[in-house]
Amino acid sequence: MKKFLNSLNPMCVFVLILSLAGCATPLVRAVKKGQTQKVVALIEKGSAIDDKALMWAAYRGDAETVKVLLDQGADVNKKKATFWDFGDLVTPLMIAVRYGHTDAVRILLDHGADVNLKHSGVTALFYAAFYGHSDIVNILLAKGAAVSATDIQYAELNGYKTLAELLDRVSKKQSSQILGENSLAPDSTASASLPQNNLIEQPVLLKSEVDVPIYKAQENPNDFALVIGVEKYSNQLPDAQFAERDAEAIKNHLIALGVPPRQIKLLTNHQATKANVEAYLEEWLPRNVKEPSRVFFYYSGHGAPDLKSGQAYLVLYDGNPDFLGITGYPIKKLYSILNSLKTKEIIVAIDSCFSGAGGRSVLAQGARPLVTKVDVEIPAANKMTIFSASAGNEISGTIEDQGHGAFTYYFLKGLNGEAIDRSGQVTAQSLYDYLKPKVQDAANLKNRDQTPQLVSSKTPLKLR
């Protein structure tokens, strides 16, 4: 099973579902395109709620549409379509869990999704454990998910040691409770009930004051965002600590800044392959953005330098520092693609580094760090505003007790009000003026340098 699951590519799954869907109804087509308002309009006109619609909304992680469909009577526990070639059916909850769509998972559970329904002998918890979605594991356990030996085994096999240890402890508590109930009622033939929530040990998940925005702007239907957070890698690279949390918090703040949730693409860990990033960066954004649009791009994860050319690369989930030219995404190309978008404003924020000296930077095997000047060439500022976590020869670090990269933590704290200028606004310049000394001070405490960079467009940019 592990080999099969690891071989799955989200786009292949997409094609598989499409082939199974047959002639989709107008409602299903609207869900596939993320057209929530059209979904509402179709339902109001009497369109029957096809069970496939909820499956698609769960797959896309479209929490808004998931809620609309459930509120209108979609069956939250319906096993409708074969999502993978396993021989029986999956539920919308399993689909949302598999792809790490936390908001959709919460909504499905709030509407009565059964955490212990099985597919091929496993529940939704298996997919959360298999892919290391610790936040979703926490949510499922709180709803009474039963832990199996398979859940523990695959969490450990995939390198999620802390998660496996947690699941093992919870499993033992669940077993103890069942034994206790049986000893109190030895003659009972009733099945042992699942453990109560207050007996479940919760994972120790970091929370930060910046995770939740304390402001809310009016939604702008023209805005789009691509948010990438790669903490776990497929090629045995060290974790980019807190990168997934960084990306999730950024998404929350982008929604507060007025970007429609359906127009934010969040790619974390296994979703952030080079092919997927290329698809959304080079196809999805150019197809959708318009001149009035404001585009946001955020990346948290490892960077790497090419030691021959000095070029800087983003290291995506399937990246390999030994073969950067093939597996990495060049920073120069990133800026070129974004700069070519036919839109008025582009805001870029990168919490990574390219020195090869550690932190959020990696090198080819056997190479020595800081033997070259890294070229993180930034194009002339016209419509682009670029925040980067550090200078080319520095390390980008983290703030452990907040569970974020230092740059991202102060970036978000500034948006939450610390960077408001005298006019009552948060601009690119006021945000940079706030976060730069804060990040420098945090780095100084660890006896190193980290100097955030800003390249700003000629027109002053108001963020909120």
Domain boundaries, the chain: 2-199, 224-455
CA distance 244 to 263: 19
Beta-bridged to residue 462, according to DSSP, are: 427
**Average pLDDT over every residue of 118-141:** 87
Work out the average pLDDT over 223-239.
Answer: 89
Between CA 156 and CA 162 the distance in angstroms is 8
pLDDT band at 180 (very low <50, low <70, confident <90, very high): low
Angle CA 81–85–89, to nearest 5: 35
Q: What is the pLDDT of residue 240?
A: 85
Alpha-helical segments (H) within 158-308: 161-184, 243-256, 274-279, 285-288
Per the prediction, the chain carries an average pLDDT of 80
Residues 6+ apart with CB under 8 A from 44: none
Burial class for 214, CB neighbours closer than 10 Å (0-12, 13-18, 19+): exposed
* Higher local confidence (pLDDT), 353 or 66: 66
- Which residues on neighbouring strands pair with residue 294, listed in sequence order? 345
Structure tokens, 59: 């797959």
Angle value at C-alpha 407, between 403 and 413, nearest 5 degrees: 75
Q: Residue 356: pLDDT above 60?
A: no
Calculate helix-pair angle for 406-413, 428-444, nearest 10 degrees: 140
* pLDDT higher than 90, residue 18: no
Strand pairing of 398-399 and 404-405? antiparallel
Q: Among 122-131, 302-311, 423-432, which stretch is predicted with the lowest mean pLDDT?
A: 302-311
Residue 33 has a CB neighbour count (10 Å cut-off) of: 14
As a whole number, mean pLDDT of residues 9-14 equals 46
| Region for 447 from its dihedrals, namely left if φ exceeds 0, alpha if ψ lies in -120 to 50, beta otherwise | left
According to DSSP, the β-strands at 303-305 and 312-314 are antiparallel
| pLDDT tops 50 at residue 137 | yes
pLDDT at 219: 93
Q: Kindly report the CATH number that applies to the domain delimited by 2-199.
A: 1.25.40.20
- Could you count the other beta carbons within 10 Å of the beta carbon of residue 255? 19
Query: Binning pLDDT at 50, 70 and 90, where does residue 460 land?
Result: low
Who contacts 162 (Cβ-Cβ below 8 Å, separation ≥6)? 134, 203
- Spatial CA neighbour of 252 closest among 204, 292, 285, 215: 215
pLDDT of 121 reads: 78
Assigned CATH for 224-455: 3.40.50.1460
Give residue 109's pLDDT: 92
Cβ atoms 249, 273 nearer than 8 A: no
Cβ-based neighbour number of residue 307 at 10 Å: 18
- Confidence at residue 254, expressed as pLDDT on a 0 to 100 scale: 95
pLDDT-wise least confident of 67-76, 217-226, 370-379, 381-390: 370-379
Q: What is the pLDDT of residue 458?
A: 58
pTM of the predicted structure, to 2 decimals: 0.59
Question: Alpha-carbon distance 265 to 408, whole Å?
Answer: 18
Q: Look at 434 and 86; give whichever has higher pLDDT.
A: 434
Other Cβ atoms closer than 10 A to 215: 13
**pLDDT band, very low/low/confident/very high, at 360 (cuts 50, 70, 90):** very low
* Residue 358 pLDDT > 80: no
Q: Which residues contact 59 (CB under 8 A, 6 or more apart)?
A: 13, 14, 17, 83, 95, 96, 99
Chain segment 366-411, per-residue pLDDT in tens: 333 333 344 555 565 578 999 998 886 777 888 888 889 999 999 9
pLDDT classification of 11: cutoffs 50, 70, 90: very low
